[in-house]
Structure 1
Amino acid sequence: MNNEHQTILDAFQFRHACKHFDATRVIPEKDFLTILEAGRLSPSSFGFEPWKFLVVQSKELKDKLWPIAWGAQNSFQGASHFLIFLARKKPDTIYNSQYVTRIMTEVQKLPQEIADQKRKAFESFQKNDFALLESDRAVFDWACKQTYIAMANMLTTAALLKIDSCPIEGFNRKAVEKLLKEEGILDTERFGVSVMASFGYRAVQPHLKTRQSLASLVQWI
């Protein structure tokens, strides 16, 4: 195994869902910006980037999140940085939305003819291939899946930098969204909360990683 392969696997061995962070250590700005950049550069379906990353620095907001985000409580006591991942809702992710148009024209800079073709393909994908327009929840859940790609890349990037992390689903989504709306942070017509993650440095060594064998997970056909 060459050095590049070992570096990658070492990062995955290092990464674990950190439950006890060292509150005295803060992630250097350049390192955390690299983690955020890994999220920004992550792939998404059709390249439409249906996400937003909230970096929560306010202790007051963390205190308000405490009773409704039980899975984040350990992180609030020591993690250097805490993120809430937002996913876009149907008004932005439906094939004919202004958001989709803006991404194709201003970000992807597609010629009009190509953009029209891509929109038709996206419409067929939403209506026929994945049946995403059957409910608002279906299309929102599809957007949430994209945020997990970004989060996973951020967790791996952190591990490569010897920074610990913890992905978090332990929260009451409705209550968190209500709080963020009341705080003037969240437009609940366009965004919903998908997942959370914390980043910092471990205070204690983790248990040995346990996983099923590759042979039990992979089928060659």
Structure 2
Amino acid sequence: MTKLSVNINKIATLRNARGGNVPNLLEAAQKIQEFGAQGITIHPRPDERHIRRQDAYELKPVVYTEYNIEGNPFKPFLDMVMELKPTQVTLVPDDDNVLTSNAGWDTLKHKDYLKEIITELKQNGIRTSIFVDPVLKMIEGAKATGTDRIELYTEEYAKQYELGNKEAVKPYADCAHLANSLGIGVNAGHDLSLDNIAFFKQNIPGLMEVSIGHALISEALYYGLENVVGMYLYRLKDV
């Protein structure tokens, strides 16, 4: 079964909009795990507009499933994850001023940079994943960095699926086949939702983990958090 890691950034956004500690981020993380999710994801940014640095530390003893921290590997980020030693660090090349992640790594251009960082993370017992576009040469480049996994950037799939273009899953399937043959694990994330996740899962061989935040938290407004987590888990079951 593909693991579900819930990105709780949007819960932090809601908390920060009012001040105080409602909703309680730690309680939300505990509940999400109790509801069956196999991981918690956070993506702290330098301006702390949702997840704060302190949140990352306070979540560490709360997350008893898999703890995935995403971010651009600037020195403050790397220092933090080296201290926390989460289950997985997902490297994302987002600039400080972007609203949300909008591109994967050029694994050919940044091979040496990524390799150095990934080597250090793995020496500290941290599983590594790098955010990539569904382009075969980027998967080949990822192999040379030594990463454990890739995370396929799925925004384009989600857009095309909504338009009825189910062929949009093919580049992702091709990349997953190649990654599998190279011994690289396959994760995926960005704009995956209850509407499109089952078809994606059915067509991506060896899909190990999906990270879902914005859609899941939004859907929880209609259906309830416990119910939505269960709905995702049902869709992610092996057929």
TM-score (norm 1): 0.27
Which structure shows the higher strand fraction? 2
Which structure shows the higher helix fraction? 1
TM-score (norm 2): 0.26
Greater relative contact order (Cα < 8 A, sep 6+): 1
Structure possessing the higher radius of gyration over alpha carbons = 1
